[in-house]
Amino acid sequence: MKVIDREEVARQRRHPSPRSIESFAFDPPENHRQTQLSDHIDECERCQQRVEQLRSERDGFLTDRPAAPFIAALSRGTASEPSRRFRWLALAAAVLLAVGTGVYLGIPRTPDPSSVVQFKGGKHINFTIFVGRDGAPARPRREAEPLYPGDVIRFGVAGAQSGYLYIANLDGENRFTRYYPADKPASAPVLKSERQILEGSIVLDEYLGPELIIIFWSKQPLDDATVRRAVTRAFDRAGGELERVEVAGIDAVVIVKRIRKVARR
């Protein structure tokens, strides 16, 4: 433990991290106006030299490997693959009112443990995803159960504490869709109750593959932009790989449910 603490102290006393220097060297100049980093570099000859060296190396790299042929070759390669654009046209998460559907929904006796959350010092809240298929009564989705295009999903909440709820969907191409609430760009209040089924249902589109359903449970309302920003950051941090998405930096308890849509046999 002593070793790492000594190292940490040394890091805090020295020049900006190599990553910060790289960022300064390569990012557009407007990203670094009037920052602590730019102030340091303005006054530090060693860091200035490092920045210049990196930029010079980049110039040499681009001379040897110019952008145009590199990207053109990649584009030809990706163009030969089937376009996925049209699979998403149908998504839009069509929200249908549940009234009149005649669908029966029940809270499961054994909730999926990963769907149970609580505020610090608060009481447990249980979330459930319900699946309706081929006109059959909706039932709680089983953990890891695949879903089919055309399935209708709804959400249930049970708990002894009130809060605000926002449910989002994120697909593998970073397309964000708000599932709940459907009618306003902010989280909606949910009162404490033994069980309740949230208004609205989602008809799943034809796209196949992994997606995330991300549930935000907060003490204060969250606006659409805040949630979208947190999700986009998480997606970027995960390098665009859904299985690695972890949403952080938002004042809410977050549950990430991973679903997979497969073709009907």
223 binds another protein (CB under 8 A): no
Nearest to 140, CA basis, from 125, 158, 153, 149: 153
CA dist., res. 231 & res. 45, Å (int): 39
139 binds another protein (CB under 8 A): no
77 binds another protein (CB under 8 A): yes
Residue selected from 52, 240, 251, 260 as contacting another protein according to rule CB under 8 A: 240
| One-character DSSP codes across 73-132 | HHHHHHHTSPP-GGGGTT-TT-EE--TTS-------SS--GGGEEE-TTS-EEEEEEEEE
Query: In which residue are the tokens 């034809």 written?
Result: 206
| One-character DSSP codes across 33-60 | TT-HHHHHHHH-HHHHHHHHHHHHHHHH
Task: Give the interface segment with another protein, choosing from 121-129, 132-140, 172-180, 216-224 (CB under 8 A).
Answer: 172-180
Q: Which lies closer to another protein via its Cβ, residue 72 or residue 191? A: 72
Residue selected from 248, 263, 264, 265 as contacting another protein according to rule CB under 8 A: 248
Shortest gap between Cβ of 192 and another protein (angstroms)?
Answer: 29
Shortest gap between Cβ of 256 and another protein (angstroms)?
Answer: 13
- How many residues sit close enough to another protein to count as binding (CB under 8 A)? 51
Could you tell me the two tokens for 198? Answer: 């949230």
236 binds another protein (CB under 8 A): yes
CA dist., res. 85 & res. 88, Å (int): 6
Interface ranges with another protein (CB under 8 A): 1, 3-4, 7-8, 11-12, 15, 17-23, 26-28, 50, 54, 57-58, 61-62, 65, 67-68, 70-72, 74-75, 77-78, 84-85, 173-175, 232-233, 236-241, 244, 246, 248-249
